[in-house]
Chains A and B, each alone.
Chain A
Amino acid sequence: MQLLIEQLLNGLQLSLTLFLLAAGLTLVFGIMGVINLAHGSLYMLGAYAGALAAARFGSFWLALPAALLAAGLIGAAMELLVVRRLYARDHLSQVLATFGLILFFNGTIAWGVGLAPLQMDTPDLLSGFVQIAPGLPYPTYRLAVMAVGGAVALGLWYVIARTKLGMLIRAGSDKREMVSALGVDIAGLFTLVFGLGALLAGLAGVMVGPIRSVQIGMGEQVLITTFVVIVVGGVGSIRGAFVGALLIGMADTLSRAFAPMLLKLWLAGALADGLGAALSSIMIYLVMAVVLVVRPRGLFPAED
């Protein structure tokens, strides 16, 4: 029972991290029609900026703004220099161009920082445990990550549902001309949204820093999982991104924790461990396959 609660919380924490990434990616696609593979790089760059700043200044509280600033600025620069030229292009060019960006960012980190993973310390303030149930301590930092993720989700919902910026975002890529006719600076809006998405990716990256190690390749791994989230939720939909993130975050965490254990009920130990490891590493893709069979456009397809 305690293990289940703990794993549910871990799942929730992964879900909220995935949501931060999926939200930005799905917005960029929904509004600008661009598939951005380098979104994972922004996550990595946020983590690296955070880890480097933490190592230099010795404080998580300086690392956090450093990561946000780095990811946001690099994101905005990316939009201005590259992504802007891709709006009118086909998906193939977009995939290729942003693939080139990934190689560039990975190469730059390898060159400038090195291949060895970086570690980031948990901030002192959040380093303890909270007794969330009798006999069940849970790391404070992870709870804080969840709180931030939840707050961002609420904030995003507010922005999109209630503000003028949200209205413009909801107007979507199809009604671009209409929005433009209303005298809105579309180019500026795009840079803003892209920068916002980058900021969220950087936030996710720096928050994950103290939990996992910071290394090259972390971006792509999480990017592909984020794709699964978006496919499950429905491209272009924030609500879809949220539900997809929950589903995938939980499926991944719970299957990793329990699949070998459950298989041991029927199979011999070693075999159950092997099969369980394989099964849990592909669980999210199986979930995606099922969703595809039932609802090819995801659970919450954006209106077209």
Chain B
Amino acid sequence: MGLNRQTLAGLIVIACLMAVPFAAPLLGGNYVVTLATRVVILAIAASSLDLLLGRGGLVSFGHAAYFGLGGYVVGIAGFHLANDVPIFGWAGSNEALVVWPLAMLVSGFAALIIGALSLRTAGVYFIMITLAFAQMIYFVFVALKYYGGDDGLSLSARNLFAGERVTNPATFYWISLGALGLCLLVQWRLVASRFGMALRGAASSERRMAALGFSVYGYRLAAFVIAGMMAGLAGALWANLNRFVSPDMMGWVRSGQFMVMVIMGGVSSLFGPIIGAAAFLLIEIALSGRTEHWQVIFGPFVLLVALFAPRGIWGLIRAKGEP
């Protein structure tokens, strides 16, 4: 049979992403490249959420918190550098290879604390608690007037990448795409590993896993931290793309949007969240171009997806019975 439908669809997605910078001059130039960059960055965040929602069966409703924290690490490091005020004896930094890993560490650490508490519970408690803790972080940044509070922080320039300035949108696109590729590679290996089997098994039947001798808490917490770190990276990229961070990055609406992307694209699939992120942005652009109150249409659309297409777009590609 050769290629199955999923592999084929995956290759098409990869080919489309790779083609963007080359096709852009024909399609509208930098606007398209920037739009594609947004898709790629949101896809990183959505795919990290899918590790929890899909593979782990953990409905985390606070994923934007880690996205926002990653963004704020970039914002704050740049703020201190630009204003020449050290933070905890550190001058701040404008170097991506320093700041982005730091963003992942900070987001991962927050995920560790929040996950350790939230995973003591399950089901509807877990949903409410992840949402509540994300809201807490949101309020902390609203209250931090020093870093702009509600109004957020502007970055004077994008981070340097290995000392080089990244002004060309296509270059930044390639960097973001590289980050997405790396995240997908990690996810792909992770899901198939022993760790992945334990995580997915726990999503499928926690009772069976316990009877086999698995203490699922640890695996779930590890997945929570990994997902948080990836979301942090996405947030760092997002801050660079917009040269701006604000508490809205970590608001509950953002968390909900990530969830919509994952489900619309297809849960428990490598490429579904990318398709979901792209579909989400395209729908947003199409609707908001028509009416300022596009949510009046988008809300019922989300509702219909939840009711009638819970397997998402990838579910149409995935043949019945295929993993």
Contacts and interface: CB of A to CB of B under 8 A. Distances in A.
B72 to A, nearest CB: 14
B306 A231 contact: no
A99 to B, nearest CB: 5
A152 to B, nearest CB: 23
A227 interface: yes
B124 A93 contact: no
B298 A235 contact: no
B306 A93 contact: yes
A228 B61 CA distance: 14
Interface residues of A, number: 45
Contacts of A292: 117-118, 120-121, 129
A95 B142 CA distance: 26
Nearest to B135: A224
Interface in B41-58: 53
B59 A227 contact: no
A236 to B, nearest CB: 9
Contacts of B118: 292
Band of interface residues on B:
35 or more
A123 interface: no
Given A96-B306, A101-B303, A274-B143, A91 B252 contact: no
A278 interface: yes
A297 B121 contact: yes
B48 to A, nearest CB: 16
B300 interface: yes
A99 B144 CA distance: 28
A101 to B, nearest CB: 6
B131 A224 contact: yes
Contacts, number: 138
B286 to A, nearest CB: 15
Interface string B13-39: 000000000000000000000000000
Interface stretch (B87-95, B152-160, B206-214, B256-264): B256-264
Contacts of B139: 278, 281-282
A72 B140 CA distance: 35
Interface stretch (A107-115, A126-134, A202-210): A107-115
Contact of A278 (B53, B127, B143, B267): B143
A235 B135 CA distance: 20
B132 A274 contact: no
B293 interface: yes
Nearest to A29: B124
B136 interface: yes
Contact of A99 (B267, B292, B302): B302
A288 interface: yes
B300 A92 contact: no
A82 interface: yes
Interface string A112-152: 00000000000000000000000000000000000000000
Interface in A43-91: 82, 85-86, 89, 91
A107 B294 contact: yes
Contacts of B306: 93-94, 96-97, 100
B137 to A, nearest CB: 8
A107 B310 contact: no
Main secondary structure of the interface of B (DSSP, over half): helix
A110 B125 CA distance: 31
Contacts of B120: 292-293, 296
B259 A100 contact: no
B145 interface: yes
Given A85-B307, A285-B133, A235 B124 contact: yes
Nearest to B293: A111
Contact of B129 (A106, A111, A231): A231
Contacts of B135: 224, 285
Interface in A211-268: 220, 224, 227-228, 230-231, 235
A21 interface: no
Interface in A19-42: 29, 35
B132 A227 contact: yes
A227 B296 contact: no
A73 to B, nearest CB: 19
Interface in B90-129: 117-118, 120-121, 123-125, 127-129
A224 B252 contact: yes
Contact of B303 (A82, A92, A278): A82
A85 B123 CA distance: 19
Given A86-B307, A95-B61, A224-B131, 11 more contacts: A91-B127, A97-B307, A100-B299, A104-B295, A104-B299, A108-B296, A224-B135, A235-B125, A282-B139, A288-B129, A297-B125
Interface of A: 29, 35, 82, 85-86, 89, 91-97, 99-108, 110-111, 220, 224, 227-228, 230-231, 235, 274, 277-278, 281-282, 285, 288-289, 292-293, 296-298
What 3 pairs across the A-B complex have the smallest Cβ distances?
A104-B299, A100-B302, A107-B295
21 contacts: A82-B307, A91-B123, A93-B306, A93-B310, A96-B259, A96-B302, A97-B303, A100-B300, A101-B303, A104-B295, A104-B299, A104-B300, A106-B295, A108-B293, A110-B295, A227-B132, A231-B121, A278-B143, A285-B132, A289-B133, A292-B121
